[in-house]
Amino acid sequence: MFQTTITIDTYGEGDIINLTPAVEDLVRKSDVYTGLVTIFTVGSTAAVTTIEYEPGVLADLRRSLSVCAPDDAAYAHDRAWGDGNGRSHVKAALVGPSLSVPIVGGALACGTWQQIVLLELDVRETRRRSVIITIMSAQAC
């Protein structure tokens, strides 16, 4: 099993999920010792990045994203579709849906304070997200 989809329930705009334990577990199960794991979130109103999983800095990130795409701006997307998530699309495109992390010695090579996170940016109360984990071995290539 080198590629799998994990399902994450999110609870509203600004929810940030720590994916590190789930990814770590899959890396261990894959038995890949040297390689790369790519995390990809399906959908256009969520994003993936790394950050220290600490409530303060997560709040700081939310505010920074709102500088780039303010809540009270007039979104052409919202005028056309009325779903109120124009800012969600913009933030997701800026941060991006994919991230690649090396596997070194059978483990994720993240720093001590560096967690892999899913950013829920949409405005719905709850969403079920699919995140695809692809693990590739550098040695087998």
Binding interface with its own copies (CB under 8 A):
2-3, 5, 34-36, 38, 40, 42-44, 49-52, 54-57, 59-61, 63-65, 67-69, 73, 75-81, 86-87, 89-90, 92-102, 104, 109-111, 113-115, 117, 132, 134-141
As measured in angstroms, the least distance from the Cβ of 23 to its own copies is 13
Residue 1: CB atoms within 10 A of its CB come to 9
By beta-carbon proximity to its own copies, the closer residue of 12 and 138 is 138
Smallest gap from Cβ 47 to its own copies, in A, equals: 9
Beta carbon of residue 71, minimum distance to its own copies (angstroms, whole number): 13
Coil vs helix vs strand at 105? coil
Q: Of 76 and 125, which CB lies nearer to its own copies in the complex structure?
A: 76
User: How far is Cα 19 from Cα 8, in angstroms, rounded to an integer?
Assistant: 9
Residue whose CB is less far from its own copies, 55 or 125: 55
Determine how many CB atoms are found less than 10 A away from the CB of residue 109: 12
In the bound state with its own copies, the residue whose beta carbon lies nearer, of 11 and 94, is: 94
Name the amino acid, one letter, at 7.
T
**What is the strand order of the sheet 3-10 is part of?**
3-10, 127-137, 34-41, 98-104, 107-108
CB of 3 to its own copies, least distance (A): 5
Helices (H), ranges, the chain: 20-30, 55-68, 76-81, 86-95
